[in-house]
Amino acid sequence: MTLGTLLGAVFQVMRRNPLPTFGLALLLYGGGGVLTIGLGVVLVGIFASSQPSAYFGGGADATLLAAVLGAVAAGLGAIAISLISTSIVQGIVVLEVSRGTLGERLRLGGLWRMLRPRLGRVIGWVALQSAALTLAATVLVVLIVVLVAAGGTAGVVIAVLLGILGFLALVVGGVWLGVKLVFTVPAIVLERRGVGSAMRRSWALTGGYFWRSLGILALVYLIYSVAGQVVAIPVSLLGSLGSVLIAGSTTDPQAMFASSLVSGGASALVGIVIGAVGLVMISATTGLLYIDTRMRKEGLDQDLARAAEERAAGRRDVDPYAPAAGTAAAGTTTPVPGPPDSPWA
């Protein structure tokens, strides 16, 4: 697939089957946000009103500590909701892309039945990514705090240099590892691999195609970011204008609350829509790049053509993505002569 074909296919995914892609992402994003807010209110209220003095001693500090613990519990719940939602959307979109190459258009129920046995592994992989990034950032922050606490000009200078170099290392290392492991979800969902095996599979597939994958992913992310800002900025301005018109110069608490609700609600709604579109775009790009890379390295296009012929003859159980298809049976990749390793080849 050429660059133009890939970019066109990314936008066709939502138009071709909108409910299991954009509709699902929008539902999970919006529902997850509402559930997170509700969970936070409930947990903070429960912790703060459950006689905290019995556990933390008396006084206002006990109530404050209990409320903080409730907020922490709500934060952990929000992280869990986000991980599950992201995993479901990624898996569904990758499956939709893979079925589209075979001329199939499954409903959400059919895609879900295919994803369900592998969802735990996808969630595990997404959680592992988040945990690794959080751990690396935490270690960097702790080192900086220790150096600053040590006192002295030298400690502060070293802390600043460490912060700059550490941030650059996190960005560069995160991008490099992210691209090398970008095909982990497709390998889990389509090849039915475990997390470790899927990581090794992704590492092998991206060999020789790193810069091409990085360039296309960066371009899609740039298109999404620019388009998102083009939509978000006018809506944010209109929301602010609406809040000013509602509140005016009054100091009435109800009018001020209504104006804040209008402005915040408009921004939140646009953020949910933009986030849902971005997640679908990146997931679709990942699935398409996985298919394209296997075409280039393993001749997957020939397996797809044979599968289409078999399905036309009535054999619907043929799966060209399974490990038994082509060179994927041994879990290896055999490079074939191809274009230079550039982002646009």
Supply the pLDDT for residue 105. 84
- Helix segments in the chain, DSSP class H: 3-16, 24-49, 53-56, 60-100, 108-115, 119-149, 152-180, 184-191, 195-205, 210-247, 253-298, 300-312
Does residue 342 lie within any of the structural domains? no
Domain count for the chain, please give it: 1
Tell me: the pLDDT tens digits for 126-154? 999 989 988 998 898 888 888 888 767 77
What phi and psi, each to the nearest 5 degrees, are found at residue 279? Answer: -65, -40
Q: Is residue 338 part of a domain?
A: no
Domain annotation covers residue 339: no
CA pair distance 122, 130, nearest whole angstrom: 13
Q: How high is the pLDDT of residue 272?
A: 82
Residue-level pLDDT at 12 = 86
Does residue 121 register a pLDDT over 50?
yes
**The whole model's pTM is what?**
0.79
Mean pLDDT is highest, among 13-22, 101-110, 250-259, 275-284, for 275-284
Q: How confident is the model at residue 172 (pLDDT cuts 50, 70, 90)?
A: very high
Euclidean distance between CA atoms 122 and 334, whole angstroms? 26
Whether 274 is covered by a domain: the verdict is yes
Tell me whether residue 205 is in a domain: yes
Q: Does position 318 have pLDDT exceeding 60, yes or no? A: yes
173, part of any domain: yes
Give the tens place of pLDDT for each residue, 78-91: 788 888 888 999 99
Return the pLDDT at 92: 94
Question: Does residue 344 lie within any of the structural domains?
Answer: no
- 19 closest CA partner among 111, 102, 114, 119: 111
How far is it, in rounded angstroms, from Cα 135 to Cα 138?
Answer: 5
Sign of CA dihedral 249, 255, 260, 261: negative
In this structure, is residue 52 part of a structural domain?
yes
Structural domain boundaries enclosing 185: 3-330
Is residue 210 over pLDDT 70?
A: yes
Amino acid at 156: V
- Higher local confidence (pLDDT), 179 or 65: 179
Cα distance between residue 221 and residue 315, in whole Å = 39
How much of the chain, in percent, has pLDDT values that exceed 90?
30
Question: Does residue 176 have a pLDDT over 80?
Answer: yes
